[in-house]
Structure 1
Amino acid sequence: MDLKVYIETFGCTFNQADSEIMAGFLREEGARLTDIDSADVIIVNTCYVKHPTEHKVINRIKKLQELYPDKGLVVAGCMVEIDPGKLEAISGDASWLGPHQLKRTPEAVKAAWRGDLRRITGFTSDLKVGVPKVRSNPLIHILQICEGCNGSCSYCCTRFARGRIQSYPSDLLVEEAERAISSGCREIQLTAQDTAAYGTDTGERLSDLIRRISEIPGDFRIRVGMMHPASVLRDLDGLVEAYTSEKVYSFLHLPVQSGSDRVLADMRRGHTVDEFRMIVERFREVIPDISIATDIIVGYPTEDEEAFMDTCRLLEEVKPGFIHLSKYRHRPGALSSSLDEIDFRDLKRRSKTIEELKGKITENENRELVGTLQNILIIEKGRKGGFIGRTDSYIPVVTGDGEMGSFMRVRIRDATGTYLIA
């Protein structure tokens, strides 16, 4: 296939890995990956988890059709499965490729180039391990360990695109990690919609997988992706023990979403605030310098002022070093979309309050590290020069000197709410 293809990706690490797989299948077929102006066909790998992202994706698809009317267009990713009606209205003669159909990427690209209307959608049991990939960063290997989830969160539409949990065999995952490390990768990112749900369908456990990958010879780090608190509870002791390996970043991404048990029940999260607290305390007891990342949804339809203040108090108590904030908006097909959204002025005010709280907490946490010596792994170049590394707790560090893929010991001289300066 003598075609030049450009891939543009929105969304999470899992979606980035999907793009790397699409690129891998295309390269095997002889296609060349290139910049957008040189491309014969453009692939837009969409995300649909949040309302602002939906608008970005829709505007980008329209813009690409306007700017490049003579190029083939393939729309891929979650939007294809979640909102085909809206996609039909805006995508014109673009081809579609669902997130479970990645091995058919060359077919979709050829069809788009010919001007054929090809809609390749639906669920498969295809594995996303051991397949060809083209890494966007040669030092980082994204390892998809499972797809889908066991959750039934009332606000979520992503599960309609990703489906129920499908865990990939641990032997294949370890083999892929070994190949990545032997080819020069310095960071293995374990990713899924819920990494702690790994093995609930096969009898395996995330803690065992982490341990097996950390036992691979070599100097590298493992970043474990987002874990649902309810899933963590089934293997808490095993996970804490697995995290004690020096190869595992001391970084726990544990989305709480709300500080109110009543709202959590309405969200159908399956965990309580006290369970979230207990998980954090257990990890901190054994790994005191662990970074805690959490997600907050502000303005859920049943969140009143008292519930909102519960969330603020929880953040002030736990002091997560990373806080990802979302304003609630209805999502297609989600159960909560039948409820009335709260007044937009209240949504805006609450969001601003949390943003200010987030800035204060994260900057204070980072400022405590000023003057300390830190081990960092340099994994990318800074956009304005210098290098970006990660501490053992996965905190970003900007440094003027360095070498890609190297481990360094640096002194922290300054800090912001989002990164350290060495």
Structure 2
Amino acid sequence: MKVYIETFGCTFNQGDSQIMAGLLQEKNAQIVEKPENADIIIVNTCYVKHPTEQKVLNRIKKVQEQFPNKKLIISGCMVEIDQDKLEKAAPTAGWIGPRQIKSTVDVVESCFEGESARITGHGNDIKAGLPKTRFDQMVHISQICEGCNGRCTYCCTRFARGKLQSYFSNTIKNEIEEAINEGCVEIQLTAQDTAAYGKDTGETLAELINKITSISGDFRLRIGMMHPKSMIGHLEELIDAFKHKNVYKFLHIPIQSGNDQVLNDMNREHTVNEFKDIISKFKKEIPEISIATDVIVGYPTETDESFEDTLNLINDIKPNFIHISKYRHRPMTISSTLPEISYDVMKKRSKALNDLKSKILYENNLSEISKIYEILITGKGSKGGYIGRTNFYKPVIVENARIGSFVNVKIEKATSTYLKGSIL
């Protein structure tokens, strides 16, 4: 039996695909790289944003048109969020809910035999320690918990992933230690909210980081997205854990809006000042740390004045990475009951923020020219050369290098999205 898996969305979803592949290979299924070579095609969906929804639906349609005789299975967040639309898009497809990954083999075998098995609902899957087929042999994705404690009014992902379920730190550590022994040089901790880790079990993210960095070896640890409200209360311990030489000095902390009233309307459960305080304390202790943040433009209650607050905040903190999303209603969310802002206003605000983003990122990167850094080479560039990461996670393009190696590089060129350097 040959299976092709195509993945949309976040690092956590990529981890789900690797687990599905690992479980199938344990049962002697062959994972193939092209859909035309497969007996069964799995489309692992993301549904967090409206543009992604359209990409997913278009891909499901195209797969059925191109490969009408192949069995199709849909997994990922769409399975739990929008079953009516999925039923119309692929009426004969099998389903694997995002918290039913352990059912992968059962669903695949059933579909291979001509039945459309569908297993959904919030199961009790412990994903840490499950077999994985890494799609990048140098990078290991470690899922540390699933679900969240948040109640953000615009988010539909929480309906797919459910309540917080943290995995035991010793299981996570053992999985990562094995990956490092197998040659992985970058470990990516991922969750819907990594800072929420352990709030249901009594452990903390800082304790987990300390356990992982106690593993011998030269590797880098990237910590995934953290909700500000989950960081408050154990911030000092978290900052200390980030200081370890094996931890990327990279903080992904979404703000979504620079206005307290809009944050309250979003039910984010923190203020702008609390967000700024977190960044200020990290920068005081780790001055070189890179800040990544997310912004939603055009939330239904956002006014011109509150959007101006967002521009001022971004200009004040000058993040190194900025992810911008235009608001669109998502299924089952509270905010979807509110009228959307007009397209023209949304377009104008989005352009203003994107212009500011380009300016800030370019100026940030210009300041790196002539500096020398040790970087970890993580892969080939899409337009040639090799991609490395500085210790504060900025991408650097070099002409030639060995993937998985650490090299010293002098920065010679900067754009708004990457640096370019030569190996010393």
Query: Shorter-chain TM-score category?
Result: over 0.9
Aligned to 2:25: 27
Local SS of the residue matching 2:137? coil
Please list the CA deviations of residues 58-82 of structure 1 after superposition, one character each: whole Å capped at 9, or x if unmatched: 0100010001001110000000000
Aligned to 2:141: 142
Name the aligned partner's letter for residue 314 of structure 1.
Answer: L
Equivalent residues in 2 for 1:20-419 (5 A)? 20-34=18-32, 35-419=34-418
How far apart are residue 103 of structure 1 and its match? 1.4
Please list the CA deviations of residues 368-396 of structure 1 after superposition, one character each: whole Å capped at 9, or x if unmatched: 10111011001111123221110000011
Q: Distance in 1 between matches of 2:282 and 2:111?
A: 49
Local SS of the residue matching 1:413? strand
How far apart are residue 115 of structure 1 and its match? 2.8
1:93/1:115 contact within 8 Å kept:
no
Local SS of the residue matching 2:37? coil
Compute the TM-score of the two structures, normalised by the length of structure 2.
0.98
Local SS of the residue matching 1:86? helix
Indicate the percent of aligned positions where both proteins have the same amino acid. 56
Count of equivalent residues: 420
Q: Distance in 2 between matches of 1:117 and 1:249?
A: 44
Q: Distance in 2 between matches of 1:119 and 1:309?
A: 47
Q: Distance in 2 between matches of 1:234 and 1:332?
A: 33
Q: Distance in 2 between matches of 1:26 and 1:419?
A: 37
Name the aligned partner's letter for residue 275 of structure 1.
Answer: E
* Aligned CA-pair RMSD: 0.7
Aligned to 2:12: 14
Q: Distance in 2 between matches of 1:383 and 1:240?
A: 34
Q: What are structure 2's unaligned runs of at least 5 residues?
A: none
How far apart are residue 136 of structure 1 and its match? 1.1
Q: Distance in 1 between matches of 2:214 and 2:355?
A: 41
Please list the CA deviations of residues 38-64 of structure 1 after superposition, one character each: whole Å capped at 9, or x if unmatched: 111110000000000000000100010
How far apart are residue 135 of structure 1 and its match? 0.6
Q: Distance in 2 between matches of 1:117 and 1:181?
A: 39
Please list the CA deviations of residues 198-217 of structure 1 after superposition, one character each: whole Å capped at 9, or x if unmatched: 00000100001001101110
Q: Distance in 2 between matches of 1:92 and 1:85?
A: 10
Q: Which moved more, 1:302-311 or 1:96-105?
A: 96-105
Q: Distance in 1 between matches of 2:284 and 2:255?
A: 19
Q: Which moved more, 1:111-120 or 1:159-168?
A: 111-120
Local SS of the residue matching 1:412? strand
How far apart are residue 123 of structure 1 and its match? 1.2
Q: Which moved more, 1:109-118 or 1:33-42?
A: 109-118
Local SS of the residue matching 1:362? helix
Q: Distance in 1 between matches of 2:341 and 2:184?
A: 46
How far apart are residue 416 of structure 1 and its match? 1.0
Q: Distance in 2 between matches of 1:282 and 1:163?
A: 31
1:138/1:184 contact within 8 Å kept:
yes
Q: Which moved more, 1:107-116 or 1:80-89?
A: 107-116
How far apart are residue 110 of structure 1 and its match? 2.1
Q: Distance in 1 between matches of 2:149 and 2:102?
A: 25
Please list the CA deviations of residues 339-387 of structure 1 after superposition, one character each: whole Å capped at 9, or x if unmatched: 0001111011111111111111111111110111011001111123221
Q: Distance in 1 between matches of 2:60 and 2:111?
A: 14
Please list the CA deviations of residues 205-245 of structure 1 after superposition, one character each: whole Å capped at 9, or x if unmatched: 00010011011100000000000000011210011000000
Q: What are structure 1's unaligned runs of at least 5 residues?
A: none
Local SS of the residue matching 1:37? helix
Q: Distance in 1 between matches of 2:384 and 2:258?
A: 40
Q: Distance in 1 between matches of 2:46 and 2:170?
A: 30
Local SS of the residue matching 2:158? helix
Q: Distance in 1 between matches of 2:67 and 2:123?
A: 32
1:71/1:113 contact within 8 Å kept:
no
Name the aligned partner's letter for residue 2 of structure 2.
Answer: K
Q: Distance in 1 between matches of 2:374 and 2:179?
A: 22
Q: Distance in 1 between matches of 2:107 and 2:101?
A: 9
Q: Distance in 1 between matches of 2:250 and 2:263?
A: 24
1:375/1:392 contact within 8 Å kept:
yes
Q: Distance in 2 between matches of 1:41 and 1:117?
A: 12
1:61/1:91 contact within 8 Å kept:
yes
